[in-house]
Structure 1
Amino acid sequence: MRPLVRGGAPVLRDLRRRGSSHWRLRHVQVCTSTELELVRWLERQTWSGGQPRAVFATHQTQSHGQHGRVWLAPRGGLWLSAALPWPHPIQATGLFGLVVALALAEQLEAQAVPVCIKWPNDLLVHSRKLAGILPTLVFRGSRVRQARIGIGLNVCNAVPSGAVALKQLLPRGRCRLRSWQSAVLQALDRSMDLAGDPAFVVREVERRLWSDRVRDPRSGDDWQVQGLGLDGRLLLAQGNRTCSWTRWGDSQGRSV
Structure 2
Amino acid sequence: MGVCASTESELSQWLVQQPWSGLSPRAVLADHQIRGHGQYGRRWMAPMGGVWLSAALPWPQQQCSTGLFGLTVALALAEQVESTGLKVSIKWPNDLMIESRKLAGVLPTLVFRGSRVRLARIGVGLNVNNPVPPGAISLRQLLCSGKCRLRIWQGAVLRALDRACELALEPNMVVRQAEQRLWAASVADPGTGESWQVRGIGMDGRLLLEQGTRRTSWTRWTDSPDQDL
Deviation by residue 1:181-212 (Cα, 9 ceiling, x = unmatched)? 11111110010110111110000000000011
- In the alignment, the residues of structure 2 paired with residue 102 and residue 113 of structure 1 have an alpha-carbon distance, to the nearest angstrom, of 14
Aligned to 1:46: 19
- In the alignment, the residues of structure 1 paired with residue 19 and residue 66 of structure 2 have an alpha-carbon distance, to the nearest angstrom, of 23
> Which of 138, 142, 145 is equivalent to 1:169?
142
- In the alignment, the residues of structure 1 paired with residue 86 and residue 154 of structure 2 have an alpha-carbon distance, to the nearest angstrom, of 16
- Tell me which amino acid in the other structure corresponds to 2:5: T
TM-score by length of 2: 0.95
SS in 2 for 1:223: strand
Shift of 1:30: 1.1
Q: Structure 1 stretches (4+) deviating beyond 2 angstroms? A: none
Greater C-alpha Rg: 1
- In the alignment, the residues of structure 1 paired with residue 185 and residue 4 of structure 2 have an alpha-carbon distance, to the nearest angstrom, of 38
Instruction: Tell whether the 8 Å contact from 1:90 to 1:96 is kept in structure 2 after alignment.
Output: no
| Paired residue total | 222
> Which of 51, 58, 77 is equivalent to 1:104?
77
- In the alignment, the residues of structure 1 paired with residue 49 and residue 138 of structure 2 have an alpha-carbon distance, to the nearest angstrom, of 10
- Tell me which amino acid in the other structure corresponds to 1:116: S
Instruction: Tell whether the 8 Å contact from 1:154 to 1:166 is kept in structure 2 after alignment.
Output: yes
Aligned to 1:208: 181
> Which of 198, 215, 220 is equivalent to 1:225?
198
> Are residue 30 (structure 1) and residue 26 (structure 2) matched?
no
> Which of 102, 122, 134 is equivalent to 1:149?
122
Shift of 1:46: 1.1
With a CA cutoff of 8 Å and minimum separation of 6, indicate the structure with the bigger relative contact order.
2
- In the alignment, the residues of structure 2 paired with residue 159 and residue 40 of structure 1 have an alpha-carbon distance, to the nearest angstrom, of 29
Name structure 2 gaps, 5 residues minimum: 223-229
- In the alignment, the residues of structure 2 paired with residue 246 and residue 170 of structure 1 have an alpha-carbon distance, to the nearest angstrom, of 34
- In the alignment, the residues of structure 2 paired with residue 183 and residue 62 of structure 1 have an alpha-carbon distance, to the nearest angstrom, of 24
TM-score by length of 1: 0.85
CA RMSD of aligned residues (A): 1.1
Name structure 1 gaps, 5 residues minimum: 1-27, 251-256
